[in-house]
Structure 1
Amino acid sequence: MIKFGIVGCGHIAKKHITAIQEADGATLAAVCDTQPERVETFSSEFNVKGYTSLEEMLNTDIDVVNICTPSGFHADIAVQIARANKHVVVEKPIALTLEDTDKIITACEENNVKLAVVHPNRFRPAFVALKELVQSGVFGKISHSNATVRWNRNQEYYDQAPWRGTKSLDGGVLMNQAIHNLDLLIWLMGDVKEVYSMAATRLRNIEAEDVSTGLARFEDGSLGVIEAATTIYPKNFEESITIFGEKGTVKISGANALHIEHLTIEGMDESEIEQLIQNIKNDPWGKPGHQRIIEDMVEAIKEDREPVVTGLDGRKALELVISLYESAEHNKPIILN
């Protein structure tokens, strides 16, 4: 069994712990947080050793550490973990700056440890099916795509913790919510070459943006439209990815992007399309994405390969967010490296 430790005993940590408990080949061995009361709560609830010192936890025989702290702390913690020769699973975003991201990637490479970034939406059945369709080329030449996150995160959500909505530790709707959808766009459409964006803080009392709109040009010349907001009243309204090609159109949508709302492909039998749509309706979530991330890390260690969602993947999604921020701040197009 691969032994996992958790650093950061907040809300998202419980999702990681459930994933570890359900995953084949994984076991939860320890938890860590700087707040003793949190450590005591998690240690008692999950019957594992608790630590207030990361260094002490790293001095045990655990194999992997999952980073569940506020995003602004990811880099220093990840580097410390890598230097202790433990593998790293880091919640999205991988970090808040490219400089910090590169520190994480370099530390993991230099110490020969695996690095996985939590972008679990790739494992949803609808997106697994869409990835296969895109790779097969059935849509032909792509004209454009669309990523939409129209969600509600009310003021109470942001007030739950002082770091939420801050630029130094959290970020806004692009960094915290829509980064999953930006990762999906890159995964499906390829690298982004250029962006232009506008952002605002309209309804929430936070430092970062609560609404953002943007345009993207991909390396293949296709265009993308990005819309993200946490201002939607009164609850989550839509999360979607849409792709328009010369031979097909597809939209995955819902309050969470779980279902194929529309699929038309030249030459594809209607009954085959309906069967695919129905299969996904029958099991829209599939195996939980966090569990898939954990199981993939177990397999990556045993097979000595890269995880499915790598540090470079996390870096690309972050670079897109940062470029959109830069464009909105300076009111000009930004060319990505």
Structure 2
Amino acid sequence: MRGFGYSEERLVRVGIVGTGYAAKLRAETFQKDERSQVVAIVGHTPEKTQEFAQTYQAEALTSWVDLVQADIDLVVISNVNKEHGAIATAALQNNKHVVVEYPLALDVTEAENIVTLARDRDKMLHVEHIELLGGLHQALKQNLPTIGEVFYARYATVTPQHPAPHKWTYHKDLFGFPLIAALSRLHRLTDLFGEVASVRCQNRHWGEGEFYQACLCTAQLQFTSGVIADVTYAKGETLWQDERKFEIHGEKGGLIFEGDAGKLVQAEQTTLIEVGSRRGLFAKDTEMVLNHLLTNTDMYVSPTASLYTLKVADAARQSAEIGQAVVIS
């Protein structure tokens, strides 16, 4: 990617699609950084857009179509999953750099085309995966060599909610297939263990209509290295016990993380593992984006890595539909 050509007179002009939690944290970081300026905002409703724009002294626009055509350098996409692909494509076609919260798109072919377009236009495309920056993942990678050859991993995130919120995150079309929408659950594993040979998945929703009351999605990944990993993603009204657990078993020990607590279990002893905070990760990601744009420093994750995990997640979707394992070529 060509250098941005930053000077004191030329700030990185940012447009943000979304007014939720991630958009707020990014806007705060851009506002505090003297190298950037939030110029335009598009939200879900005129009221939220206007309020958000006033907070960050930006222009409130009515459509993301207008935003990608505006006089800005960088488009940040922090809205419903269903629209990620279309907005990223339009932004790149208008010669804008792009930051998008995962997933890049709900459709693999669309995501492949976006990665190609960014390369052809020589523009930055960054798919956020802050789970790789967090204390849990860093502790996993640091301690992984101590447990010898890994053969099994299990990652479960279960979130009871009573009642389930009437939000886009409980909407089949806007949120997408659970393991595509919650791509970080698989991306942790592909980052640690590499290529996946096959995946078998089951998925169930409760409730009628577009919005559901609960979902349960479980998958088993067989890695080419021989590692087997079980993944569970569940949320909503039919769940009764919160769980956030990641465990990895090797021939010389195991790494067990529950919530924000970790331990290394070996035959002779159990050692507590300090896990760094999850706070400040969006700010860190945003600062790295600016550094990459202005000084061409490397990002911590590539769009092709995210795309590969998206292909694994889509194989899980196919497996759930046909009721059998899917081999990943």
Common fold by TM > 0.5: yes
Q: Which residue of 2 aligns with 1:102?
A: 112
Cα distance change on mapping 1:264 and 1:11 into 2, 3 Å: closer
What is the CA-CA distance between 1:170 and the residue it aligns to? 1.4
1:64 to 46, 71, 74: 74
Larger deviation, residues 302-311 vs 190-199? 302-311
Partners of 2:79 and 2:220 lie apart in 1 by 31
CA contact (8 A) 1:67 1:89 kept: yes
Alignment TM-score, normalising by the size of structure 2: 0.85
Q: Which residue of 2 aligns with 1:331?
A: 323
Partners of 2:288 and 2:266 lie apart in 1 by 32
Partners of 2:206 and 2:193 lie apart in 1 by 31
Partners of 2:65 and 2:49 lie apart in 1 by 15
Structure 1 gap segments, 5+ residues each: none
Alignment TM-score, normalising by the size of structure 1: 0.83
Q: Which residue of 2 aligns with 1:289?
A: 281
Q: Which residue of 1 aligns with 2:4?
A: none
What is the CA-CA distance between 1:172 and the residue it aligns to? 4.5
What is the CA-CA distance between 1:225 and the residue it aligns to? 0.8
Q: Which residue of 2 aligns with 1:139?
A: 147
RMSD: 2.8
CA contact (8 A) 2:162 2:236 kept: yes
What is the CA-CA distance between 1:196 and the residue it aligns to? 0.9
Paired AA for residue 32 in structure 1: V
Map 1:110-259 onto structure 2 (within 5 A): 110-134=120-144, 137-157=145-165, 159-160=166-167, 163-177=168-182, 179-202=183-206, 206=210, 210-231=215-236, 237-254=242-259, 258-259=260-261
Q: Which residue of 2 aligns with 1:83?
A: 93
After the TM superposition, which segments of 4 or more aligned residues of structure 1 sit over 6 Å from their partners?
A: 232-236
What is the CA-CA distance between 1:71 and the residue it aligns to? 1.2
Partners of 2:50 and 2:211 lie apart in 1 by 32
CA contact (8 A) 2:92 2:118 kept: yes
Map 1:2-81 onto structure 2 (within 5 A): 2-10=12-20, 12-21=22-31, 25-33=35-43, 35-81=45-91
Cα distance change on mapping 1:248 and 1:63 into 2, 3 Å: farther
2:292 to 276, 293, 300: 300
What is the CA-CA distance between 1:128 and the residue it aligns to? 1.1
CA contact (8 A) 2:153 2:248 kept: yes
Larger deviation, residues 76-85 vs 89-98? 76-85
| Superposed CA offset, 1:305-324 (max 9, x none) | 55222222221232222111
Q: Aligned residues: percent identity?
A: 22
Q: How many residues align?
A: 318
| Superposed CA offset, 1:197-231 (max 9, x none) | 11111368656770012211012011111111103
1:263 aligns with 2:264: yes
